[in-house]
A and B are shown apart, each in its own frame.
Chain A
Amino acid sequence: MDLIKSVINTLASPTILFTLIIVTFFFIFPLNDWFYRWNKRLKLDSFWTNRGGIKMFIILLVFFAFGLFDENFRLIVLKPDNVPIVGLIFLVAFFTWLSMKQAVDNDVHIENNENVNEYSDPDDKVLTWPDLVYIELIALVLCTVLLIVWSIGLQAPLEEPANPTLSPNPAKAPWYFLGLQEMLVYFDPWIAGVLFPSLMIVGLMAIPYLDTNKKGVGYYSFKQRMMAVSLYMFGWLVLWVLLIIIGTFLRGPNWNFFGPFEYWDLHKLQPLTNINLSEYVYIIWFSTGMPDNILLREIWGILLILGYFLILPPLFAKTWLKNLYNRLGNFRYSVFIILILFALSMPIKMYLRWMVNLKYIVAIPEYFFNI
């Protein structure tokens, strides 16, 4: 029992958890043909069958049932704040499974030159009233009942009146913002709080203009829009939902990491001494002092950032994104790749923080500019 718990605790440490998920992710949601072949070979698409779904559900259920016997786990999971997140885990898993199941199903149909499941002949229509309105009415009634039961059953997690000189420990954002709060750990407030959220919205709005693939309209399909689905799922499941889950269950006092079965020790000591890139360069590698001129001091980081955004896109266009580049054209490709690079900067920065304790690549606190 304790062994299992300590194994899970170790697995939940951010470095291991994130690495595991990133490595397996693109085999489960293949990004290109190469991954797709492996996906088939490893029979990973068996997730998206009825059996696979039931198995996943049982595993999740057993995990939570098992966890509830542990006091620390119970304290976190049953906190009224966190109950919806448990629901969210189940719901996200279910809807991912549901859509992927239909997509994989259709892929088989398409391969056999059959009609997709959503195919309907134009004469076959249903009426808004009563077919749709009845369903809506039932949904409405059920939701109301659920909300009433919920609000009676779970006490609202109210706290003492706000006090500007006393932040609760840990101070957590509302659950839907925990992904943003997690980003704030690795980035300057301007970037994680303003730039990234706006880019996310702009990026989501840009999808219909960037995605020129005409297939897969009106029906579920995975193979016909492999890259689109895979990339989107990465952004959604890993860079948003996973961060919410981490923020809810794995972040404790002083914003330290805690395993799901770990006691939230106020005095847990995690050595986190962080160093800026300029300090690495001038103090550790060159062992000269820091230069006084800000530009000279930060030039390495600035070059690195510029290189990341200016050199990588054409490089990719010439090498393994050649097909995509030809299909999208110059402008679309540029927008697409810049958005992707921004999204990738998140895990990159996380790893840099975990591995080499890098605080900021460009650090100009004098002008509130840090990357």
Chain B
Amino acid sequence: MDDQKHLEHEQNKPEDAERSTENPEEMKQSEENSTEMKIAEKKEIEPKKPEVPKKKLEKGPTKKRASIGKGSILVEPIKRRSFFSWLTLAWVAFTAATGTFFGMMLRFMFPNVLFEPKQTFKAGYPDDYTIGEVTTSLKEKYGVWIIRDTEHIYALSVVCTHLGCTPNWLQNERKFKCPCHGSGFRKSGINFEGPAPRPLERYKIVLADDGQILIDKTKKFAYEKGQWSDSESYLVV
């Protein structure tokens, strides 16, 4: 129902307009109507305007000037000045807001928590590690696995060489397995299944003066570049 009414209304409109052009009187009327409407609208929007000419009349000396510039010169400077002060305020506020925003962004870069585990650390004595086993206890704190085989001890990085997830050591299957895309690594760190293109990296491992193992994560050894034969990449025991 509503739709229909609406339609009829729309259709009638243009016809009305046509008719009115035929009849001059009606046209006048309609024009008057429309001007009245306009005035009404203006009043609603800018009720202060009518006051402007009043002020002008009250003050004598300004009459001359007023005549030059269509009568609004006197009033406008005040307006403009106040306008400028508003503008300044707006700019100050804007700058402050933007500044705060970027300040917060900057602050965001330095979180209160330290995710980065220590890069160099001591990892106990070689005898703490059982032969043939993978030690996972340092994974959470330092991000390394320590593995001791019959002759060597080496420290493996816990970062998957595919896309950087953290694999898990599966004790029963005796392999590292990545939960993201299923890459598998042997105990030595060699990749053998899934998409990982390179073996896990090894970290620099040396014996400190007090006989403890010292691991330096800033120095990495990659198998595919032949660096695993480097004497710092393993510890002879």
Classify the secondary structure of B's interface with A.
loop
B182 / chain A contacts, CB cutoff of 8 Å: 185, 254-256, 272
Q: Which of A167, A170, A271, A365 contacts B198 (CB 8 A)?
A: A365
In contact, B180 and A167 (Cβ under 8 angstroms): yes
> Given A171-B165, A253-B179, A267-B172, are A187 and B195 neighbors across the interface (CB < 8 Å)?
yes
> Given A165-B143, A171-B180, A184-B181, are A274 and B197 neighbors across the interface (CB < 8 Å)?
no
A127 / chain B contacts, CB cutoff of 8 Å: 6-7, 10
C-alpha spacing A253/B3, complex, angstroms: 58
In contact, A185 and B194 (Cβ under 8 angstroms): yes
Q: Which of A170, A184, A274, A368 contacts B163 (CB 8 A)?
A: A184
CB distance from B123 to the nearest CB of A (A): 15
With A166-B140, A360-B197 given, can you name 13 additional A-B contacts, CB distance below 8 Å?
A: A165-B143, A166-B166, A169-B168, A170-B179, A184-B180, A185-B181, A185-B195, A254-B170, A254-B182, A255-B194, A256-B182, A267-B172, A273-B193
Q: Which of A163, A188, A253 contacts B195 (CB 8 A)?
A: A188
Say if the beta carbon of A48 comes within 8 Å of chain B: no
In contact, A272 and B193 (Cβ under 8 angstroms): yes
User: Which residues of A approach B to under 8 Å, CB–CB?
Assistant: 127, 130-131, 163-171, 181, 184-189, 193, 253-256, 267, 269, 271-274, 359-360, 363, 365-366, 368, 370
In contact, A167 and B165 (Cβ under 8 angstroms): yes
CB distance from B197 to the nearest CB of A (A): 5
A166 to B, closest residue via Cβ: B166
Say if the beta carbon of B220 comes within 8 Å of chain A: no
**How many chain-B residues does the 8 Å CB contact rule pick out?**
35
Closest 9 CB pairs of A and B: A255-B182, A272-B193, A169-B179, A365-B198, A167-B165, A167-B166, A365-B197, A185-B181, A254-B177
C-alpha spacing A272/B182, complex, angstroms: 9
Say if the beta carbon of B91 comes within 8 Å of chain A: no
B7 / chain A contacts, CB cutoff of 8 Å: 127
C-alpha spacing A253/B182, complex, angstroms: 9
Say if the beta carbon of B115 comes within 8 Å of chain A: yes
> Given A184-B162, A184-B163, are A167 and B179 neighbors across the interface (CB < 8 Å)?
yes
In contact, A130 and B6 (Cβ under 8 angstroms): yes
> Given A272-B194, A360-B197, A365-B224, are A164 and B180 neighbors across the interface (CB < 8 Å)?
no
B198 to A, closest residue via Cβ: A365
C-alpha spacing A236/B198, complex, angstroms: 32
In contact, B179 and A255 (Cβ under 8 angstroms): yes
In contact, A255 and B193 (Cβ under 8 angstroms): no
In contact, A165 and B163 (Cβ under 8 angstroms): no
C-alpha spacing A274/B196, complex, angstroms: 10
Q: Which of B140, B170, B181 contacts A165 (CB 8 A)?
A: B140
Say if the beta carbon of B2 comes within 8 Å of chain A: yes
C-alpha spacing A170/B182, complex, angstroms: 9
B167 to A, closest residue via Cβ: A167
B158 / chain A contacts, CB cutoff of 8 Å: 165
In contact, B173 and A168 (Cβ under 8 angstroms): no
> Given A171-B165, A188-B197, A366-B225, are A272 and B184 neighbors across the interface (CB < 8 Å)?
yes
C-alpha spacing A254/B177, complex, angstroms: 6
